[in-house]
């Protein structure tokens, strides 16, 4: 739902890939922010979440998208760390996703965490597209800021254009080594059986209209086929981080992937000891386009629907754990919900 209206649930899009291949930069380009500058050594160390409303998606995609073709409220992007030590965070991010973007640096090709990410996506059978990033670094490339890929490709020299093709075919070959049939995205008819490769630059914005268009198409089809359209049930989510927040004490950054959560409702949260049973004191929503990891101005709301990144304030959260499940009890038997949470730890 769109904050309560009837419609499709906001799809969750995980961004996965090897360290430094440009996941955070890609999201920065889409949301018009510079989250990467605030990261220690420009390394992502936590899972992030950013809601991108449909009007922004369609603005960035420009002429490639007709927003009236979609009844999705937008997309919730999950940023994940590519550094090798964060395997758990990558699987957690992958497990939350409805669809995914696998980011591959066209110069580096497949690297260890690219393969790790592919295995996560295979296991969870998550449909994905490949963003072949950093095309602006092809020798002789003349950037056309924010242009769709066909348009900028036609404006390149034959040499630069064929150099890019060469790199893209290497990526397609590497995907085929992993057992996927893949092709340039504009030749792909069925994105569930075939992997589309979208050439992009997070630096210049080239190809990003294409990437968003492919994602929206994939999300729309996938959500219609497989996902619960009605998200009014008791909320279910995963804790991203446990954080002190001025005036609120210990809070949880949560990705709510199903249902709704309301102020004053009883929730069960996985903890270091027994599951924690507590009442929601406040639901704090980041502004649209804000990364929950860095947001400092939250809006207090009475209720929020999936999928969203949200901060939850409640008493007794000190021993809550990142990665743990969060469940709204509502009209269910509390012992059953506690057992459910315990089973997931």
Nearest-approach distance from CB 130 to Mg ion, in angstroms: 17
User: What is the C-alpha separation between 98 and 306, in angstroms, rounded?
Assistant: 12
The answer to whether residue 277 forms part of the interface with ligand GTP (CB under 6 A) is: no
Residue showing the smallest CB distance to ligand GTP in the complex: 82
User: What is the C-alpha separation between 281 and 264, in angstroms, rounded?
Assistant: 6
User: What is the C-alpha separation between 86 and 105, in angstroms, rounded?
Assistant: 19
To the question of whether residue 126 is assigned a binding role by annotation, the answer is: no
- 337 SS3 class: helix
Q: Which does 137 bind (CB under 5 to 8 A by kind): Mg ion, ligand GTP, none?
A: ligand GTP
DSSP string, 197-222: EEE--TTT-TTHHHHHHHHHHHHHHH
User: What is the C-alpha separation between 20 and 25, in angstroms, rounded?
Assistant: 9
The answer to whether residue 16 forms part of the interface with ligand GTP (CB under 6 A) is: no
- 239 SS3 class: strand
Stretch that binds ligand GTP, among 2-10, 149-157, 199-207, 303-311 (CB under 6 A): 199-207
The pair of three-digit structure tokens given for residue 27, joined into one six-digit string: 């999201």
Q: Which is nearer to ligand GTP, 98 or 116 (CB)?
A: 116
Lookup result for tokens 């242009």: 147
Rg (C-alpha) for the chain, rounded Å, is 20
The answer to whether residue 183 forms part of the interface with ligand GTP (CB under 6 A) is: no
Helices (H), 53-199: 54-61, 87-96, 112-124, 149-154, 158-177
Please, is 196 exposed, middle or buried when counting C-beta atoms within 10 Å of its C-beta (0-12, 13-18, 19+)? Answer: buried
Nearest-approach distance from CB 306 to Mg ion, in angstroms: 24
User: What is the C-alpha separation between 14 and 102, in angstroms, rounded?
Assistant: 8
The pair of three-digit structure tokens given for residue 143, joined into one six-digit string: 């950037």
Binding letters toward ligand GTP, positions 34-63, x by CB under 6 A: --x-----xxx-------------------
Nearest-approach distance from CB 145 to ligand GTP, in angstroms: 12
Q: Which is nearer to Mg ion, 79 or 210 (CB)?
A: 79
Q: Which residues bind Mg ion (CB under 5 A)?
A: 23-24, 44
Q: Are 197 and 185 in contact (CB under 8 A)?
A: yes
Nearest-approach distance from CB 22 to ligand GTP, in angstroms: 3
The answer to whether residue 136 forms part of the interface with ligand GTP (CB under 6 A) is: yes
Nearest-approach distance from CB 89 to Mg ion, in angstroms: 11
Q: How many residues bind ligand GTP (CB under 6 A)?
A: 22
14, 16, 21, 309: which one binds ligand GTP (CB under 6 A): 21
Nearest-approach distance from CB 252 to Mg ion, in angstroms: 22
46, 83, 221, 262: which one binds ligand GTP (CB under 6 A): 83
Q: Which is nearer to ligand GTP, 42 or 229 (CB)?
A: 42
71, 170, 183, 203: which one binds ligand GTP (CB under 6 A): 203
Facing residues of 13 across strands?
77, 99
Nearest-approach distance from CB 20 to ligand GTP, in angstroms: 4
Dihedral pair phi/psi, residue 64, rounded to 5°:
-75, -20
Stretch that binds ligand GTP, among 115-123, 154-162, 198-206, 283-291 (CB under 6 A): 198-206
Lookup result for tokens 């996941």: 23
User: What is the C-alpha separation between 154 and 131, in angstroms, rounded?
Assistant: 19
Binding-site positions: 17-24, 79-83, 133-136
Residues forming contacts to ligand GTP in the complex (CB under 6 A) are 17, 19-25, 36, 42-44, 81-83, 133-134, 136-137, 201-203
């Amino acid at each position: 739902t769109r904050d309560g209206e009837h419609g499709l649930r906001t799809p969750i899009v995980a961004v996965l890939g090897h360290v430094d291949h440009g996941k955070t930069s890609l999201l920065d380009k889409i949301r018009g922010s510079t989250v990467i500058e605030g990261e220690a050594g420009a390394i992502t160390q936590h899972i992030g979440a950013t809601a991108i409303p449909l009007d922004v998606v369609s603005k960035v995609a420009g002429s490639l998208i007709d927003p009236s073709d979609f009844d999705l409220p937008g997309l919730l992007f999950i940023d994940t760390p590519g550094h090798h030590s964060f395997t758990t965070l990558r699987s957690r991010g992958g497990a939350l996703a409805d669809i995914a973007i696998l980011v591959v640096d066209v110069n580096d090709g497949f690297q260890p965490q690219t393969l790790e990410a592919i295995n996560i996506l295979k296991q969870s059978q998550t449909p994905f597209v490949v963003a072949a990033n950093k095309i602006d670094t092809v020798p002789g490339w003349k950037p056309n800021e924010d242009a769709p890929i066909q348009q900028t490709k036609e404006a390149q020299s034959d040499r630069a254009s064929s150099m890019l093709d060469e790199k893209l075919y290497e990526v397609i070959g590497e995907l085929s080594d992993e057992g996927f049939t893949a092709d340039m995205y504009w030749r792909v008819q069925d994105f569930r059986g075939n992997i589309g490769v979208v050439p992009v630059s997070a630096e210049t914005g080239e190809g990003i209209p294409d990437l968003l268009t492919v994602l929206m198409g994939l999300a729309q089809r996938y959500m219609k086929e497989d996902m619960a359209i009605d998200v009014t049930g008791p909320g279910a989510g995963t804790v991203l981080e446990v954080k002190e927040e001025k005036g609120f004490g210990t809070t949880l950054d949560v990705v709510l992937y199903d249902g709704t959560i309301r102020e004053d409702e009883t929730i069960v949260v996985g903890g270091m000891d027994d599951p924690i049973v507590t009442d929601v004191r406040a639901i704090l929503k980041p502004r649209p386009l804000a990364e929950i990891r860095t947001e400092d101005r939250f809006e207090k709301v009475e209720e929020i629907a999936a999928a969203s990144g949200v901060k939850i304030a409640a008493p007794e959260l000190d021993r809550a754990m990142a990665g743990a499940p969060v469940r709204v009890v509502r009209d269910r038997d509390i012992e059953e919900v506690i057992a459910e949470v315990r089973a997931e730890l």
